[in-house]
Every structure is written in structure tokens, then in C-alpha cells.
Structure 1
């Protein structure tokens, strides 16, 4: 029922009742006029009752539809019927049902992703653990015939145990990021200096694999406001990925670009690259592409997912571009520091 019409009917009913009151009070114009007022009063009252009944029916219908929605029928929608007050409620309820549908879909996707993640984690833990148990049994049974062979077994055990520890550490880190339990201590940092410090860790590995370093970093300070530990972790994870899967190209490129509102760090190589169909998935947890060079094919499967989450927590963006055996670039941005407004972005 239209709100304005309802007010009009109530107002007219009030006027009729008032008129009848004064007629009785002064006992004037008893005849036809008074009868007309009574008929008008009865008519208005009847209309109000009918409208009230229809409103009640509509409310019951809305209740039924809402119960259908709460039981999982998210395709339910209420219809508007040219009634200002009811239409406002209907629009709000329809928006709520749409949000419930989105939450339901997201929940289903999350559940599927969680099952896939647990399956992948189980596989990635079981594989090195089985290998570790095998080498331990071999050492216990004296299968190794010489000290050199025993030492080789121990080296393999150490490497497998280290990989297993790294996987478990990254699983915990990812869980903490999901729960927003990793504290972000923003500091006034020189991004160029952070990059140089992060590179030192990989110089020995680059030398052993004959990887040539191409570096382009501004000589001046490149100030950002970010969390030091997470920024170092982002750079480390991306460089590690580039060396692990792009070392055959024998070049590692580091390029820090200064933009108007941000700094962009590009880390690239000339290795086998990433197939076009895999590019959109490389930052997903435990994603495995048949020819992908991401850490998901041999590492923990969480390195780039962690990097992405940390970049976003530092107000930046991350992306990847790849032309196999020509150039594969992982890049991320960090807003430039602005003393007038903290971030110039």
C-alpha cells in the first residue's frame, strides 16, 4: 500500500470522526449530511481494514521467502509493488540475500581450496618424510658401505630435513597471515638499501650457478614506510624463486624504478619462464603447473603466496609477466614515503 495514500485515508477518517463529534455536540444538520459522513467513515474504515489485511498477507509471504533463503535458496527475491515503505524493506532484504549468496559461494570455494591445500600439504610433507625415514633405516641397517657414503646419506638427510622445516615454517606463516596475526611494524626505510642487503644472501649461490647479476638501483635514497621483516621476506622469496627456476638463463636482473607515487621493484631472469595459461595462478597456494617454474612445482608451494599477502599488507601490488627463455619478471610496488601525508599514493 502506498504510504501517501495510507496517510490520506487516515487523515480523511480523522476529519469524518471530528465532524461527527461536532455534529453530536451542537446537534446541527442531523439528516442527510450526517448520514453521508457515517457512510464515508464506514467506507474509509473498510478500505483501511482491507489494506491492513493485504499488508498482513504480504508480510507472511515475505516471511516464507526469507525462510527459503535461510535454508539455502539464495535465488529467492522479493518483488516491489509500488509501496514506498515496503519497497525500501524489500530492496534491503534483496541486498541482504545477495550478500548471503556471495558469502555462501565464497565459503564453498574456501572449503574446496582448503581441502586441496590440505591434500597438497599432506603430500609435500609425506614425500620428504618418507625419504628421511628411508635414509635413516639405511644407516641403521649399515647399507652404506663406506664413510663417504654415510656422509652422503647424512647430507641428504640434512637437506631433506631443512626442506621439511621450511615447508612447516611457511605453512605457519600462511596461517598467521590468514588470521591477521603477523604484526606489521611500519618503519622509515630505504628500499634500495633493503634490496642490497637481501642480495648478499644469494651471491654465493649465484656464483656457483654462474648466474650473472644485472642490477639497476638509484644511487640516492628511496624512502618508503613499510615493515622491514616482511619487505625483506618479499624480496627474498622472489629472488629465491628466480634463482631456483630461472638459473638456466644464467642472468638475474634487479631493477628498482621510481614512479611519481610509488617504487617498483622488478626481479627478472631469462630462464624457461611460465606458460601463459599458468600466469594467473602463480600466486595461488600450492598451485602446480606442468611446466611452471614457480615454487609450487618443487618448493613449499607457498613462497609466492606469502609474498603476495605481505605486499598487500604493505599497501602495494604484485604481478608477473613472462616470455619463456626471453624474460620473466616478478614485480611489486610500494608507495613512496611522503612526509606530508605519510604515503604519496
Structure 2
């Protein structure tokens, strides 16, 4: 009889324990559900905090928090892209409106001012043509970037002599640099370095960077171009001694449509497309572009490319 009583008491105790435990787990799960609902509804960056000794619930909470982190990251990226798109539309609208206003003004003058002589007409038409080319250039760059970012444009990669490209670009800009009294520092080794790139796109990258250095480094009156390599990579460094890029802008200078007074991302009528296109092209070729800047001492863009190893 005593044994039966003991077994009965143990059985009842066990059932009570299991009931309490199940109830506790239920409350924990209910809390997690309500808290997660609140996080999603209020779009906060909170996490699920729940102290429990149940390993299954701990594992579940860990995975839920990872999912929350991912969702918050996606939301942040979406908001950033949305802001970028709004700014892009604002910049594009402004940059197109300015030359179009000039075009409309001069065409109205040509149409209504009968006193204009042939030379004056020719001069006005030259301005109209120049402004029309600005609009076309901006539109072309905008759609080019859109194609690059949507993967609609294929860039073929092959073995390319980077020494020859660097020498060619120096010669292309020799007259401009001379006319502006730039000091030129060229460090291209005798040993040929080959990289896996697209030759045409690589020339465009250097065109963008050299033009950028001439335009925004004009105060320093110096252009540097250095080519070097290690066992795995080839490096092209384009530098100047101009006003440089403020520390707070370095992180964003390659962002699409990012413009500011102290930035250099104004290669195309202030649209903020130039350095973005340059970075995108480099990355499409499997490379990387880096920036370092000390105002009026040295501002350098370094293009890091995959070396051809035969």
C-alpha cells in the first residue's frame, strides 16, 4: 500500500512538473510571438531576449534573431536605394533642365531677333550645339550605368598589357597637362605587367581617373601615374596634390548619385555618375578601386587588378 502511495505521489508530481514546464514554454513562445509581431509592426531594431534553459527554444530564438537582422538589413538597403533614386531623379532633372533652359533661350533669340548677323547666328548655334551635347552625354552615361548595374552589358576579359595602356593614356593627355603647367610624375617599369581585363573598358577607367585628377587636382598642378605589381595583382595609382576629398565623404564618394561641394563625384555635369561608373567597370573586371586622400598633399585612386599568370 505504501509503495502504491509513493508511485501515485511521484506520478502526480511528474504530471504537475510537466504541466508547469509546458505552461512555461507556452508562455515563452507566446512572448516571442508577441514581441516579434511588435518588432515587425514598429520596424524597430530590437532583438528577441528570452532567458530559457530549453535548448530547442534557444535555437529557435537564435534563428529568429538572425532572420530579424536580415530583414532589418534589407529594409535599410531598400531605404538607402530609395533615397538614392530620389536624389538621382533630382540631380538628373536639374542637370538636364540647366542646358535645356539655355537651349530654349538661344533658340528663341535666334527665332525672334531679326537683327542677328551670320556670325552672331553661328556663335549662338555653337552654344546650342554644345549644350545639346551635354544633355546627350548625361543621358548616355545614365543609361550606361543602368546597363552595368542590371548585368545587361557583358565585359569580355582577356590578357592585356597594362604598361602599354598607361603609356598611351599619358600621351593622350600630354598636351592638356602641358598647357596647364602640370608637373607629371610617371612611374611605369620596363618589365611588362599583364592583367585580366577588358582593354577598352580599362582605357575608359584611366580616362575617368586622369580627367578627374586634372579637373579636381588643378590647385596642386601635379599628376602622378604609377604602375606596380606583386605576385597576384597589378596596381595602377592615379594621384594629384589638389584639394582632396574630405574624410567624411571618402566612404560615399563612389556611391551612385552622391554629390557634394567637397566631392569629386561630379565628372558628368554634377550628376554623380563618373566615379560610380569607374568603380562598377573595375569591379566588373574582377578588380577593386581604393581611395586615400590628404588635402594638398596626395589624393590617390588605386586600381587593383587580377594579374595574368602564364
Give the TM-score taking structure 2 as reference length: 0.85
Shift of 1:47: 2.2
Shift of 1:199: 4.2
The correspondence of residues 272-283 of structure 1 with structure 2, limited to 5 A, is 272-275=243-246, 278-283=249-254
1:321 aligned to which of 285, 293, 296 = 293
Which has the higher relative contact order, 1 or 2, with Cα contacts under 8 A spaced 6 or more apart? Answer: 2
Unaligned runs of 5+ in 1: 1-30, 340-345
Q: 1:64 to 1:110 in 2, by over 3 A?
A: same
Structure 1 residues 227-246: Cα deviation after superposition (integer angstroms, max 9, x where no partner): 33432221111112122333
Shift of 1:87: 0.8
Q: Aligned partners of 1:322 and 1:161: how far apart in 2? A: 37
- 1:305 aligns with 276
Q: Aligned partners of 1:213 and 1:114: how far apart in 2? A: 39
SS at match of 1:338: coil
Q: Aligned partners of 1:209 and 1:249: how far apart in 2? A: 11
Q: Aligned partners of 2:32 and 2:58: how far apart in 1? A: 12
The correspondence of residues 1-345 of structure 1 with structure 2, limited to 5 A, is 31-71=1-41, 72-142=43-113, 145-206=116-177, 208-209=179-180, 211=182, 213-247=184-218, 249-275=220-246, 278-292=249-263, 294-295=265-266, 298-313=269-284, 314-324=286-296, 326-339=297-310
Structure 1 residues 110-160: Cα deviation after superposition (integer angstroms, max 9, x where no partner): 322322222112111111111122222222224672222222222222221
Q: Aligned partners of 1:73 and 1:261: how far apart in 2? A: 44
Farther-moved stretch of structure 1 (85-94 vs 197-206): 197-206
Q: 1:57 to 1:239 in 2, by over 3 A?
A: same
Q: 1:63 to 1:298 in 2, by over 3 A?
A: same
Unaligned runs of 5+ in 2: none
* Bigger CA radius of gyration: 1
SS at match of 2:307: strand
Query: Do the aligned partners of 1:246 and 1:269 also contact (CA within 8 Å) in 2?
Result: yes
CA RMSD of aligned residues (A): 2.8
Aligned length: 308
Q: 1:279 to 1:94 in 2, by over 3 A?
A: closer
Farther-moved stretch of structure 1 (223-232 vs 281-290): 281-290
Q: Aligned partners of 1:74 and 1:43: how far apart in 2? A: 42
Q: 1:201 to 1:138 in 2, by over 3 A?
A: farther
Give the TM-score taking structure 1 as reference length: 0.78
Q: Aligned partners of 1:259 and 1:299: how far apart in 2? A: 36
Q: Aligned partners of 1:203 and 1:132: how far apart in 2? A: 33
Q: Aligned partners of 1:167 and 1:210: how far apart in 2? A: 29
